[in-house]
Chain A
């Protein structure tokens, strides 16, 4: 009952029709300030996080999560693949290893069209071509394309370029690979076909390993890498192959994105700082307006700790409603933006076409709860000052 009473007192002190317009105004403004601060942070995190996530997803969707390569850029062959496969089979979480042959080539489709492309031979069944590349070449599934590889290029004595390996293939499907760069340049086909085109039998440019869902690629890559290391150094050879998680290729990108996110978070956190200053002046004003009431309550036997708790609860109520409003608002706006007003990006610049907002419950709760916690701290000052005058002073206060 006592707690309920303190809540009721605090609630009506900050929110009651009997309050003066000024008190109602400062209450609304401080709630709004906190709400905007929380919403700004949550929305920022949603879109920054969404951007990073979409790019990471795009990159990993077309590439195995673990990348095995020869440092320094040497070639690998089927024997190396066999070595890695047998080592990887000992490592829990790794499901398989495949060999990839990936090289640049020139592709042409409908009459007069030509484009550079990356031809990737791997575990692909048929021939899939990126959708932007298909548009450039004006081809669709079932049409033919010609791929000219540099493997057959010779410069004749007359200075003419002779290309003797031009292979004609049928497009089986047109794919959306998620990232602009892949869509505009990638041609996927079976490893054997790629080897024919590039006249590179037995050769591989890299190996890729897959992990079970739920397994952290970074951890698995570490395990495979040290197993490879041991294999070579144990046999007295120099290390030939290494393994890194695929996304580590783009480590700088993700570092830069992370830095940008931190910087923007700090800037937007300033909104919350201003909102907290506002809250603190609102609480001071509310305390002044109710100083005599507190005197009356003390005359009726409210203890000093009750007075203290009422003051803190006022801050908690304003801060809590603000944070909660901000939380709801941010969830609704992220949902609405994703659903009705998607943010279009230029894929050639940003790799992805649509910026997704990913509402992270953990981040949202962290922002909300830490805001409420700081509001609590802010309300301690007026609470202590409420204790500093005697009931009699409070009663005489007009």
Chain B
């Protein structure tokens, strides 16, 4: 396996429900993401994009298959080690910002660093830098409920990359924004991918975002194929 691969998965199977009434969502998905690559996973609603991202992000154990994050087999690790791997190597952006409502935008961005055990000062420095980079430093001390949809999603993106992860998994990052705002956020994502040489795996319906990425994959009937 070449060492420019940040994420790879083999033969991922996922299903929901009990044994007799189960829905098989993923039926053997293979995927490889290289350093600096921005990959979009497309597919109709209900095709299993979120399920795939959760399996790749070590959030939900697939029935079958292995997930290698920077060469480490995520699902064979202890849950503590797996949490550490998520903390250091993987960033998440969700369709709904999922910021912690009780914390300011800045505290939200600091959170992964604090979980990693960084000092408050170090975490604050990193958060300040990123908030400025994503253009919401003037909102740092606001609570999520006081920020606009675009500002929240920018904060969520800053939070996803504050630990400088090797890969960011973004599940419809612009799915809940109006057209103009989502264009801005899409541009931000592409810039961040460019700047950091960081890989992104995006689940998206957005044609604009899909047209900007390096590679598009289509999830249909539980398997992943190239999209033209």
Q: Which B residues have a C-beta under 8 Å from some C-beta of A? A: 50, 54, 57, 59-61, 79-80, 83-88, 92, 94, 98, 100-103, 111-112, 114-120, 143, 145, 159, 163
CA distance A297 to B92 in the complex (A): 11
Residues of B within 8 A of A298 (CB): 59, 83, 86
Stretch at the interface among A253-261, A268-276, A387-395: A387-395
Least distance between B62 CB and chain A CB atoms (Å): 11
CA distance A5 to B116 in the complex (A): 11
CA distance A395 to B88 in the complex (A): 20
In terms of DSSP, what is the predominant structure of the interface of chain A? helix
Q: Are A16's CB and B102's CB within 8 A?
A: yes
Least distance between B48 CB and chain A CB atoms (Å): 13
Residues of B within 8 A of A395 (CB): 54, 59, 94, 98
Q: With an 8 A cutoff between CB atoms, is A112 at the interface?
A: no
Q: Are A305's CB and B102's CB within 8 A?
A: no
Among B50, B57, B59, max chain A CB count under 10 A is at B59
Q: Are B112's CB and A300's CB within 8 A?
A: yes
Q: Are B115's CB and A5's CB within 8 A?
A: yes
Residues of B within 8 A of A13 (CB): 102
Contact digits for A368-398, partner B, Cβ 8 Å, 1 yes 0 no: 0000000000000000000000111101100
Q: With an 8 A cutoff between CB atoms, is A1 at the interface?
A: yes
Q: Are B59's CB and A304's CB within 8 A?
A: no
CA distance A303 to B115 in the complex (A): 9
Contact digits for A298-333, partner B, Cβ 8 Å, 1 yes 0 no: 111111111000000000000000000000000000
A-B contact pairs, 15 of them (CB 8 A): A1-B117, A12-B103, A16-B101, A19-B102, A295-B59, A296-B92, A297-B111, A300-B87, A301-B84, A301-B87, A303-B79, A303-B83, A304-B83, A390-B60, A391-B54
Q: Are B54's CB and A302's CB within 8 A?
A: no
Q: Are A304's CB and B114's CB within 8 A?
A: no
Q: Take A5-B115, A296-B100 as given contacts and tell me if A301 and B86 are in contact as well, using a CB distance cutoff of 8 Å.
A: yes
Q: Are A18's CB and B102's CB within 8 A?
A: yes
CA distance A303 to B101 in the complex (A): 21
Q: Are B117's CB and A303's CB within 8 A?
A: no
In this complex, how many residues of chain A approach chain B with their Cβ under 8 Å: the count is 28
Q: Are A301's CB and B102's CB within 8 A?
A: no
User: What's the A-B contact tally at a CB cutoff of 8 Å?
Assistant: 83
Least distance between B61 CB and chain A CB atoms (Å): 7
Q: Are B114's CB and A1's CB within 8 A?
A: yes
CA distance A324 to B102 in the complex (A): 25
Q: With an 8 A cutoff between CB atoms, is A339 at the interface?
A: no
CA distance A16 to B100 in the complex (A): 12
Contact digits for A1-29, partner B, Cβ 8 Å, 1 yes 0 no: 11001000000110010110000000000
Q: Are B59's CB and A301's CB within 8 A?
A: no
What residue of chain A has the Cβ atom nearest to residue B60's Cβ?
Answer: A392
CA distance A305 to B120 in the complex (A): 21
Q: Are B84's CB and A18's CB within 8 A?
A: no
What residue of chain A has the Cβ atom nearest to residue B112's Cβ?
Answer: A300
Q: Are B114's CB and A5's CB within 8 A?
A: yes
Q: Are A299's CB and B57's CB within 8 A?
A: yes
Among A5, A292, A299, A304, max chain B CB count under 10 A is at A299
**Which of A276-292 touch B at CB < 8 Å?**
292
Name A292's contact: one of B59, B92, B98, B102 (CB within 8 Å).
B98
Residues of A within 8 A of B79 (CB): 303-304
What residue of chain B has the Cβ atom nearest to residue A300's Cβ?
Answer: B112
Residues of B within 8 A of A297 (CB): 100, 111, 115
Q: With an 8 A cutoff between CB atoms, is A293 at the interface?
A: yes
Known: A5-B114, A296-B100. 12 other contacts (CB 8 A): A2-B114, A16-B101, A16-B102, A296-B92, A299-B59, A300-B111, A300-B112, A301-B112, A304-B80, A306-B83, A390-B60, A395-B59
Q: Are A18's CB and B98's CB within 8 A?
A: no
Least distance between A265 CB and chain B CB atoms (Å): 39
By Cβ-Cβ distance, the 4 closest A-B pairs, closest first, are A301-B87, A392-B60, A12-B102, A16-B102
Q: Take A296-B100, A303-B79, A395-B94 as given contacts and tell me if A390 and B84 are in contact as well, using a CB distance cutoff of 8 Å.
A: no
Q: Are B143's CB and A18's CB within 8 A?
A: yes
